[in-house]
Amino acid sequence: MKQRVNPVRDVISNGVKSRHTQRQVSAGGVTFKKLSSSIRICLIGRRNLKDQMIWCLPKGHIEKGETFKRAALREVREETGISGTILSGLGSIRYSFFDLEDKRKIFKTVHFFLIQYVKGKLSDHDDEVEYARWFAFEKAIRLMSYEGERNVFKRAIKKIRLLK
């Protein structure tokens, strides 16, 4: 008997066939703080599979019953150790990747928000990340590893500059 192929469910990536794809929705934030003469942006650093440092925006899954905004605030708090207030939405990005552990293609949407720092210490970040650091705009955008997140960051910079 010939097996039917469903192009939506059967994905081949890196030579590994997966019987399932998965859609994930996450939320995160561009968190900033005003200093007397400048503004700083918080990025997190973690290592990829090749042990290279990846700098990115804090983000993560949405728990059952949680809104995008609440998830963004929770993920920022967990991954950076700091809390803030959401000022506005920044839109969303979509991308896909292959999860080697689960052997499936992941289609992900991440909703981002502009968050102003209120309190907390970066040293209180969880163990999902290696570093949480404040950076000037110019250095942050140079360090960011993902183009989609850089585009979100550029939208955030425009909104932050209007606040001055």
Q: Does residue 2 form part of some domain? A: no
The enclosing domain of 113 has a CATH number of 3.90.79.10
Q: Does residue 5 form part of some domain? A: no
Domain that holds residue 39: 14-163
Give the pLDDT confidence score for residue 12 in this predicted structure.
38
Q: What is the pLDDT of residues 6-34, one digit of tens each?
A: 333 333 334 344 467 888 999 999 999 99
Q: What is the pLDDT of residues 22-71, one digit of tens each?
A: 889 999 999 999 998 899 999 999 998 889 999 999 999 999 999 999 99
Alpha carbon distance 54, 85 (integer Å): 26
Give the pLDDT confidence score for residue 147 in this predicted structure.
95
Q: Which long-range contacts (CB under 8 A, 24 or more apart) does 152-157 make?
A: 152/30, 152/57, 152/90, 152/91, 152/93, 152/112, 153/30, 153/41, 153/57, 155/90, 155/91, 156/30, 156/32, 156/41, 156/90, 156/112, 156/114
- pTM of the entire structure? 0.85
How many distinct structural domains can be found in the chain?
A: 1
